[in-house]
């Protein structure tokens, strides 16, 4: 290859240190690793103890100096946050440098702006680590599955929430107790909002959706429900009914075919969902992630593995670096961009209104333990054309009863109207839980 490719690393935290470790130890890896050289590294605190041995002469607190360093060909952004990360990515592109980033927050919000800029500049922005940590999912969707019409992607794409749900299910412990423990063990952040409220999963499904369906959606419009209000009894009831409870991120086309000129309607959302115990996503436990892609003609293909952590995430980042290294001579020569490796969008997509989304539902109602209650609830559902798969009474105490309803596939609009009417029944005290169901 001749001259080594210069890498500028923005960030030397969990992921950055993992990347530096791989680059420092090329032995036994693909020979291209030896053609790559870490030139400079931006950090916030020069005195911080690092998890990787690195010459202090490489470190700087000025990330722009790294981006603008002429010896650097590829900028690796693993600092996180929206700014200055977004501006540094755009500046790198402007300078004709390809970028590798693990930053889902930036890509979910500014992916289109970044993709346009990179195309215009004739450089690559690769994002394999932004979704699913070490699981190869971005490049398989862009390249290996590109001959398919993708129908749906459903995934467990947040390791923290899957860890919490798995432990709640196994140990019968409450959300708050498991969260505290997960924080002390390093599986949850001290501020867990982005994970437990489903926001991180929403960022990731926005990215997958854009790649699978060929057009971006507005990240802020994705209906998002996390696991922070979940009660242990829903996990227990779900289990008795033959389901595991998972936080699923889903994006699916709601129209079979459409011309490329039409905007493609999509249902994209994040919500706690009952998954039948024999479904491939049901057995995904702990911090692992899994993404199920359904397409025509491939059918179903599932990607499974470690969704976070230094090693797995760095594995994805380095793969992106190597992909760029492999095509760099062509970038240098004539601005040629491989259309499958570069980000491409070919149509408009939009989210359908929430009330139009079809799904099965799990609903838990707190009712008076009186004769005829189930009949009254059934009448309301019937009036709204909601067909019921099962209706079960749990835990009848002195005066209260818990009734769990699983519906067949119905629109969210029908369910919303039914629940409004059910709330008005004198025998129903409250609607205590409402989730999706596969």
User: Does residue number 225 form part of the binding site for ligand NAP (CB under 6 A)?
Assistant: no
Return the closest-CA partner of residue 211 out of 315, 320, 137.
137
User: Does residue number 65 form part of the binding site for ligand NAP (CB under 6 A)?
Assistant: no
What tokens does 355 get? Answer: 């009330």
Give yes or no for a contact between 292 and 281, defined as CB atoms under 8 angstroms apart: yes
Return the closest-CA partner of residue 67 out of 38, 47, 42.
42
User: Taking the CB of residue 53, how many other CB atoms lie within 10 A of it?
Assistant: 9
Stretch that binds ligand NAP, among 40-48, 68-76, 263-271, 280-288 (CB under 6 A): 40-48
Catalytic annotation, pick one of 204, 233, 412, 420:
204
Per DSSP bridges, beta strands 299-306 and 358-368 are unpaired
- Residue number with CB closer to ligand NAP (13 or 140): 13
Radius of gyration for the alpha carbons in the chain, expressed in angstroms and rounded: 24
Residue from 38, 42, 178, 182 in contact with ligand NAP (CB under 6 A): 42
Phi/psi of residue 250, each to 5°? Answer: -130, 140
Per DSSP bridges, beta strands 400-407 and 388-394 are antiparallel
Coil, strand or helix at 168: helix
Give Cα separations from 40 to 10, 50, 178, 228, 322 (angstroms): 8, 15, 40, 41, 18
Q: CB of 69: closest distance to ligand NAP in angstroms?
A: 14
Going through 254-378 in order, the beta strands assigned E by DSSP cover 264-276, 288-296, 299-306, 349-351, 358-368
User: Does residue number 12 form part of the binding site for ligand NAP (CB under 6 A)?
Assistant: yes
- Residue number with CB closer to ligand NAP (15 or 153): 15
- Residue number with CB closer to ligand NAP (199 or 433): 199
Nearest residue to the partner ligand NAP, using Cβ = 13
What tokens does 136 get? Answer: 């190869």
User: Does residue number 191 form part of the binding site for ligand NAP (CB under 6 A)?
Assistant: no
Stretch that binds ligand NAP, among 78-86, 178-186, 337-345, 406-414 (CB under 6 A): 78-86
Q: CB of 256: closest distance to ligand NAP in angstroms?
A: 34
User: Does residue number 63 form part of the binding site for ligand NAP (CB under 6 A)?
Assistant: yes
Q: CB of 13: closest distance to ligand NAP in angstroms?
A: 2
Phi/psi of residue 244, each to 5°? Answer: -105, 150
User: Taking the CB of residue 143, how many other CB atoms lie within 10 A of it?
Assistant: 13
User: Does residue number 289 form part of the binding site for ligand NAP (CB under 6 A)?
Assistant: no
Residue from 5, 7, 14, 227 in contact with ligand NAP (CB under 6 A): 14
- Residue number with CB closer to ligand NAP (6 or 80): 80
Coil, strand or helix at 308: coil
Tell me how far apart the alpha carbons of residues 40 and 6 are, in angstroms, rounded to a whole number: 9
Q: Is 204 tagged catalytic?
A: yes
User: Does residue number 308 form part of the binding site for ligand NAP (CB under 6 A)?
Assistant: yes
Tell me how far apart the alpha carbons of residues 282 and 243 are, in angstroms, rounded to a whole number: 8
Return the closest-CA partner of residue 350 out of 424, 258, 285.
258
CA neighbours closer than 13 Å in the CB half-sphere of residue 365: 28
Stretch that binds ligand NAP, among 9-17, 217-225, 352-360, 367-375 (CB under 6 A): 9-17
User: Does residue number 201 form part of the binding site for ligand NAP (CB under 6 A)?
Assistant: no
Tell me how far apart the alpha carbons of residues 289 and 60 are, in angstroms, rounded to a whole number: 34
* Binders of ligand NAP in range 128-147 (CB under 6 A): 129, 133
- Residue number with CB closer to ligand NAP (264 or 308): 308
Stretch that binds ligand NAP, among 73-81, 162-170, 279-287, 361-369 (CB under 6 A): 73-81
Q: CB of 154: closest distance to ligand NAP in angstroms?
A: 20
User: Does residue number 309 form part of the binding site for ligand NAP (CB under 6 A)?
Assistant: yes
| DSSP state at residue 224 | B
Tell me how far apart the alpha carbons of residues 165 and 160 are, in angstroms, rounded to a whole number: 9
- Residue number with CB closer to ligand NAP (63 or 272): 63
User: Does residue number 288 form part of the binding site for ligand NAP (CB under 6 A)?
Assistant: no
Return the closest-CA partner of residue 211 out of 342, 324, 74.
342
User: Does residue number 292 form part of the binding site for ligand NAP (CB under 6 A)?
Assistant: no
- Residue number with CB closer to ligand NAP (126 or 422): 126
Residue from 79, 165, 324, 325 in contact with ligand NAP (CB under 6 A): 79
Stretch that binds ligand NAP, among 19-27, 283-291, 295-303, 307-315 (CB under 6 A): 307-315
- Give the binding site for ligand NAP (CB under 6 A): 11-16, 42-45, 48, 63, 78-80, 84, 102-104, 129, 133, 308-309, 313
- Residues known to be catalytic: 204
């Amino acid at each position: 290859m001749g001259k080594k490719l210069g890498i500028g690393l923005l960030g030397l935290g969990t992921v950055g240190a993992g990347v530096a470790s791989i680059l420092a130890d090329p032995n036994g890896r693909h020979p291209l690793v030896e053609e790559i050289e870490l030139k400079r590294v931006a950090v916030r605190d020069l005195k911080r103890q690092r998890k990787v041995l690195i010459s202090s002469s490489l470190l700087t607190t000025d990330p722009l100096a790294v981006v603008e360093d002429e010896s650097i060909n590829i900028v690796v952004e693993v600092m996180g946050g929206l700014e200055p990360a977004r501006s540094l990515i755009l500046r790198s592109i402007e300078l004709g440098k390809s970028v590798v980033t693990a930053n889902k927050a930036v890509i979910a919000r500014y992916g289109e702006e970044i993709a346009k800029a990179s195309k215009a500049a004739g450089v690559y922005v690769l994002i394999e680590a932004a979704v699913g940590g070490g699981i190869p999912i971005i490049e398989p969707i862009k390249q290996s599955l590109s001959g398919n019409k993708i129908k749906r992607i459903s995934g467990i794409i947040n390791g923290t929430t899957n860890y919490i749900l798995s432990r709640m299910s196994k140990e019968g412990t409450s959300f708050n107790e498991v969260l505290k423990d997960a924080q002390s063990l390093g599986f949850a952040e001290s501020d867990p909002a982005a994970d437990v409220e489903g926001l991180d999963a929403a960022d990731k499904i926005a990215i997958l959706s854009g790649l699978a369906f060929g057009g971006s959606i507005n990240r802020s419009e994705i209906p998002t429900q996390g696991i922070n209000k979940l009660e242990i009894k829903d996990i227990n009831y779900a289990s008795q009914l033959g389901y595991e409870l998972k936080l699923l991120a889903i994006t699916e086309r709601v129209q079979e075919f459409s011309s490329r000129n039409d905007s493609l309607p999509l249902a994209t959302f994040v919500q706690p969902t009952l998954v039948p115990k024999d479904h491939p996503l049901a057995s995904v436990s702990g911090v692992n992630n899994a993404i199920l892609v359904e397409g025509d003609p491939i059918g179903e293909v599932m990607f499974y593995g470690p969704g976070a952590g230094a090693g797995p995430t760095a594995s994805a980042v380095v793969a992106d670096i190597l992909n760029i290294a492999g095509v760099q001579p062509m970038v240098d020569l004539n601005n040629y961009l491989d259309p499958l490796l570069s980000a491409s969008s070919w149509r408009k997509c939009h989210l359908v209104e929430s009330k139009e989304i079809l799904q099965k539902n799990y609903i838990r109602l707190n009712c008076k333990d009186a004769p005829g209650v189930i009949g009254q609830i059934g009448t309301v559902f019937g009036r709204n054309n909601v067909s019921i798969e099962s209706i079960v009474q749990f835990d009848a105490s002195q005066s209260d009863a818990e009734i769990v309803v699983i519906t067949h596939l119905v629109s969210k609009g029908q369910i919303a109207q039914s629940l409004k009417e059910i709330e008005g029944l004198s025998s129903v005290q409250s609607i205590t839980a409402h989730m999706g169901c596969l």
